[in-house]
Amino acid sequence: MALHGSYYLPHKATQPILGSIGLFMLLVGFSNYLNGSDLGPTMMWIGVGILAYMMFVWFGSVIRESVAGLYNHQVDVSFRMGMIWFITSEVFFFAAFFGALFYSRILALPWMGGEGSALGVHTHQYLWDTFKNVWPSNGPGHIGGKEGGEFEPMAAWGIPAINTLILLTSGATVTWAHWGMLKDNRKQLIIGLAATVALGFLFVILQGVEYHEAYSEMGLTLGTGIYGSTFFMLTGFHGLHVSIGAIILTVVLLRSIRGHFSSENHFAFEAAAWYWHFVDVVWLGLFIFVYWL
Amino acid sequence: MSVTAIHDDHHDHGPTKGFMRWVTTTNHKDIGTLYLVFSLAMFMVGGAMALVIRAELFEPGMQFVDPLFFNSMTTLHALIMVFGAVMPAFAGLANWMIPMMIGSPDMALPRLNNWSFWLLPFAAVMLVSTLFMDGGAAAAGWTLYPPLSLQAGASFPFTIFTIHILGISSIMAAINIIVTILNMRAPGMTLMKMPLFVWTWLITAFLLIAIMPVFAGAVTMLLTDKFFGTSFFNAAGGGDPVLYQHLFWFFGHPEVYVLILPSFGIVSQIIPTFARKPLFGYSSMVYATASIGFLSFVVWAHHQYTVGMPVEGELYFTYATMLIAVPTGVKVFNWMSTMWQGAMTFEAPMLWAIAFVVLFTMGGFTGLMMAISPADLQYHDTYFIVAHFHYVLVSGAVFAIIAAVYYWLPKWTGVMYDERLANLHFWLTTISVNVCFFPQHFLGLAGMPRRIPDYALQFAEFNAWSSVGAFVFGFSQLILCYIVVKSMRGEGEKATDEVWEGASEHGLEWQLPSPAPYHTWEHSPHIH
């Protein structure tokens, strides 16, 4: 492969130690808050502030170095590989929560409902011998929900279906923006990105509406047994990732407006787009396994 | 791909001065040193905790500590040794050696590299600080099984977040290592020419990327179960505490291979050098490592045979687990074949490597015994398990790390260590590690449960032996500290560039000067 300049190696990185201090304060503060200490929230917010500042400084240096042309092709490849493996780790993070959902639905709840007792699984007999397994469930103890443990599950074909359309459309708009980038058509790039960002935030808002309805009317909360736990943890972490993705895309949009990218050199755009597609695919899994089936 | 490196400050090709050098460094050798020094410090802290455990168990009855503190000691000893000592030691070796071995000027993502390390001291402070909190430190074992782990006091969220920080650190380090290996190799350094240490770390890094997020997810569910009313591990809400065990061991089993695969790599570097022969069966070593990596993901429930799984599950996990003996056996036979008819000499690294092969294999055999689920019902949660995993982790992973330190220390510091002292260290350690852990097999088979501060009288003698072994083992490591500090101060006979006779045929690192300059391979070497 041709050699374009040299591999850039930064010296004297001050950002990481800031990140460590920020993360430490955030988590120690959060722990103190959970333990009921008054000191907790203040410390936590200071930590959040330091982390946010660290990201500004860190990404700021990377952007300056990139614009100054310090990154050769090989550095670009390193960034790309790094992003791919980061997304892979995120996939496994979601896998843990999908695993919890599948394990509960396919194994734990049926066993508790009496299945497998012929094979020597005696969960049913020893725990709640009157429990019938019907999904969605908040368990034999009817944990959470309204009075009497009642709750309404989230239907697939309301807001969730609209949100599916929104995310799929945003996947198309970001690809259209990429086509614009490759043709050096900045107008198409900016319109496509702006549409993607708008759709992303619209998704988050609609999910907020959905959550509000769940909490205020349906008796469906994070504490509503295993259904509420898996529902809110999966959709919640997904929503968090959509928000992060939308913020990343916003930064990329601002950089596109400033003309940071060219058809040759636009790793940040592609990384954001990959992340966005990843969030999109996770959503499809959620729509099928959490809302629909 | 050819590499030339540029640094952002062309006038400054050496390290900056003072403490900030270490805080802000992006140099792979500096970061490697940080990791290794941190690891040695944690090895001493975790070791001190082990000695508390062995002091209490020296004789029956309650002598020194209360049971809760005893449980905290077993829990923290494990967490510190796994995440604070062994993993950072491998990360340190990876940082130092991988760029030098593949002809790269540095790690691919130097700033990220700094952060991977500098998260660790903060995590360590957080974990150790729990000792001073209301309700004591985490005491439910390093596996943090619910519902027991949920009964912890103020330490609980701190323990969980420590794991999150460690997870972030490991994932970033793993990404960096993969990218470095795949993208930074010198021209001609094809994948199948890479030293085995590089190969084993590549596969280890894949494992880390897949498992650390799952562990993070599992402990997040613990956190929400305790503080936010979720029911993941609560049967009344339709959850299941066994779900945690599955999630944990989906992480935990590959994790124990994270602790051993780089050891395989180290031993595969050392044995050929001192047998003065190329490694026997290089490509089979690579495939065996990859097979072990793959199999590690499909055997996790052999840690849970007694929890009440359907018999099909027990059968599957028994057979799948026994399958791992095949690639592992390939490795052991390859090491023996490498030594066969070699012109062997027995400098310290070789002694440790040979002890590794013998003692690790013993740990492997007891592992095979426990793989058989009906037999495991007897061994489960006894000292037999404790003996097994200390054979693979202490006389396995830790021995390999010490071997690596002796092997590469002259390259890092430019001076030879004292061979006589190193021999003393080796023999004291090897004898005491067996005195410490071998009797635990008998204790376990006779039914002594693990994680217990007091025991029945019939276990007294073997426990006394074990404690004596542990104390000799622990204090012998001060020799290692002395040797390392002495070398770091540059005291000792000057090392040649090759260090070991004929070593330059066994890797690029031996073609560099001793000590290795601050920047190496700024112009990539050409490999034939």
Higher pLDDT, B99 or B6: B99
In a domain, B251, yes or no: yes
Give the residue numbers spanning the domain of B112. 24-511
B486-504 tens-digit pLDDT: 999 999 999 999 999 999 8
Say whether pLDDT at B16 is over 60. Answer: yes
Q: How far is B184 from chain A (nearest CA, A)?
A: 8
Task: Check: CB of residue B204 under 8 Å from CB of residue B175.
Answer: no
Q: Taking CB atoms and an 8 Å limit, are B16 and A108 in contact across chains?
A: no
Listed residue (B125, B136, B247, B16) closest to A94, CA to CA: B247
| Residues of chain A neighbouring B24 (CB-CB closer than 8 A) | 12-14, 17
B424-481 tens-digit pLDDT: 999 999 999 999 999 999 999 999 999 999 999 999 999 999 999 999 999 999 999 9
Amino acid at A250: T
Q: Taking CB atoms and an 8 Å limit, are A140 and B236 in contact across chains?
A: yes
- Given CB atoms, is A87 within the 8 Å cutoff of chain B? no
- By percentage, how much of chain B surpasses pLDDT 70? 97
Which of the four pLDDT bands, split at 50, 70 and 90, describes residue A124?
Answer: confident
Region of poorest pLDDT, from A114-118, B33-37, B59-63, B229-233? A114-118
The reply to whether A73-292 shares the fold of A11-70 is no
- Given CB atoms, is A76 within the 8 Å cutoff of chain B? no
| B contact residues 178-237, partner A, Cβ 8 Å cutoff | 178-179, 182-184, 209-214, 216-218, 220-221, 224, 227-232, 234-237
- By percentage, how much of chain A surpasses pLDDT 90? 87
Q: Which two tokens stand for residue B396?
A: 């396995």
Q: Which residue is it, tokens 């952002």?
A: B8
Listed residue (A227, A67, A264) closest to A151, CA to CA: A227
Which of the four pLDDT bands, split at 50, 70 and 90, describes residue A1?
Answer: very low
| Residues of chain A neighbouring B154 (CB-CB closer than 8 A) | 35
B122-165 tens-digit pLDDT: 999 999 999 999 999 999 999 999 999 999 999 999 999 999 99
What's the confidence (pLDDT) of residue B17?
79
Q: Taking CB atoms and an 8 Å limit, are B231 and A143 in contact across chains?
A: yes
Which of the four pLDDT bands, split at 50, 70 and 90, describes residue A3?
Answer: very low
Q: Taking CB atoms and an 8 Å limit, are B236 and A139 in contact across chains?
A: yes
Task: Check: CB of residue A195 under 8 Å from CB of residue A170.
Answer: yes
Say whether pLDDT at A6 is over 50. Answer: yes
Which residues are CB-contacts of A135 (< 8 A; sequence separation ≥ 6)? A105, A109, A227
A-B Cβ pairs (cutoff 8 Å, strict): 251
If residue B5 lies in a helix (H) or strand (E), which one and from where to where?
Answer: strand B5-7
A21-62 tens-digit pLDDT: 999 999 999 999 999 999 999 999 999 999 999 999 999 999
Which of the four pLDDT bands, split at 50, 70 and 90, describes residue B6?
Answer: low
B33-90 tens-digit pLDDT: 999 999 999 999 999 999 999 999 999 999 999 999 999 999 999 999 999 999 999 9
Listed residue (A276, A264, A272) closest to A71, CA to CA: A264
Q: Taking CB atoms and an 8 Å limit, are B238 and A225 in contact across chains?
A: yes
- Reported pTM: 0.96
Among all residues of chain B, which has the CA nearest to that of A104?
A: B239
Q: Is B486 exposed, middle or buried (0-12, 13-18, 19+ CB in 10 A)?
A: middle
Q: What is the mean pLDDT of residues A191-197?
A: 98
What's the confidence (pLDDT) of residue B5?
65
In a domain, B528, yes or no: no
Helix then strand count (H, E) for chain A reads: 9, 1
What's the confidence (pLDDT) of residue B516?
95
What's the confidence (pLDDT) of residue A4?
41
What's the confidence (pLDDT) of residue B179?
98
Q: How far is A65 from chain B (nearest CA, A)?
A: 10
- Given CB atoms, is B242 within the 8 Å cutoff of chain A? yes
In a domain, B18, yes or no: no
What's the confidence (pLDDT) of residue A126?
80
In a domain, B273, yes or no: yes
Mean pLDDT of chain B: 95
Say whether pLDDT at B4 is over 80. Answer: no
Phi-psi region of B415 (alpha: psi -120 to 50; beta: other; left: phi over 0): beta
| Residues of chain B neighbouring A15 (CB-CB closer than 8 A) | 111, 115
In a domain, B519, yes or no: no
Which of the four pLDDT bands, split at 50, 70 and 90, describes residue A2?
Answer: very low
In a domain, B522, yes or no: no
| Residues of chain A neighbouring B110 (CB-CB closer than 8 A) | 9-10, 13
Among all residues of chain A, which has the CA nearest to that of B156?
A: A31
In a domain, B34, yes or no: yes
List the domain boundaries for chain A: 11-70, 73-292
Task: Check: CB of residue A128 under 8 Å from CB of residue A140.
Answer: yes
Q: Taking CB atoms and an 8 Å limit, are B183 and A74 in contact across chains?
A: yes
What ipTM is given for this predicted complex? 0.95
Listed residue (A164, A187, A175, A161) closest to A276, CA to CA: A175
| Residues of chain B neighbouring A5 (CB-CB closer than 8 A) | 6
What's the confidence (pLDDT) of residue A119?
67
Nearest Cβ partner for B110 among A10, A138, A222: A10
Domain count, chain B: 1
B95, B115, B181: best to mutate for the A interface, most A CBs within 10 A: B115
Among all residues of chain B, which has the CA nearest to that of A85?
A: B175
| Residues of chain B neighbouring A107 (CB-CB closer than 8 A) | 240
Nearest Cβ partner for A93 among B154, B217, B227: B217
What's the confidence (pLDDT) of residue B8?
57
Nearest Cβ partner for A116 among B178, B216, B310: B310
Q: Taking CB atoms and an 8 Å limit, are B118 and A20 in contact across chains?
A: yes
Phi and psi at residue B137, in whole multiples of 5°? -75, 170
Say whether pLDDT at B333 is over 70. Answer: yes
What's the confidence (pLDDT) of residue B54?
98
| Residues of chain A neighbouring B211 (CB-CB closer than 8 A) | 92
Which residues are CB-contacts of B19 (< 8 A; sequence separation ≥ 6)? none
Query: Could you give the residue numbers annotated as active site of B?
Result: 77, 106, 142, 169-170, 253, 255, 257, 268, 302-303, 328, 331, 450
Q: What is the mean pLDDT of residues B201-221?
A: 98
Q: How far is A125 from chain B (nearest CA, A)?
A: 13
Fold entry, domain A73-292 = Four Helix Bundle (Hemerythrin (Met), subunit A) (1.20.120)
| Residues of chain B neighbouring A57 (CB-CB closer than 8 A) | none
What's the confidence (pLDDT) of residue B7?
62
What's the confidence (pLDDT) of residue A116?
77
CA distances in angstroms from B331 to B210, B264, B279, B291, listed in the order given: 24, 8, 11, 11
What's the confidence (pLDDT) of residue B21?
93
Start-to-end CA distance of chain A, whole Å, equals 49
Which residues are CB-contacts of B450 (< 8 A; sequence separation ≥ 6)? B74, B381, B382, B383, B385, B386, B444
Say whether pLDDT at A88 is over 50. Answer: yes
Q: What is the mean pLDDT of residues B174-180?
A: 98
In a domain, B480, yes or no: yes
Q: Is B34 helix (H, G, I), strand (E, B) or coil?
A: helix
| B contact residues 8-27, partner A, Cβ 8 Å cutoff | 8-9, 12, 16, 23-26
Q: What is the mean pLDDT of residues B385-392?
A: 98
Nearest Cβ partner for A92 among B214, B228, B238: B214
| Residues of chain B neighbouring A230 (CB-CB closer than 8 A) | 232
- CATH number assigned to the domain covering A11-70: 1.10.287
What's the confidence (pLDDT) of residue B466?
98
Nearest Cβ partner for B175 among A82, A140, A228: A82
What's the confidence (pLDDT) of residue B11?
46
Say whether pLDDT at A230 is over 50. Answer: yes
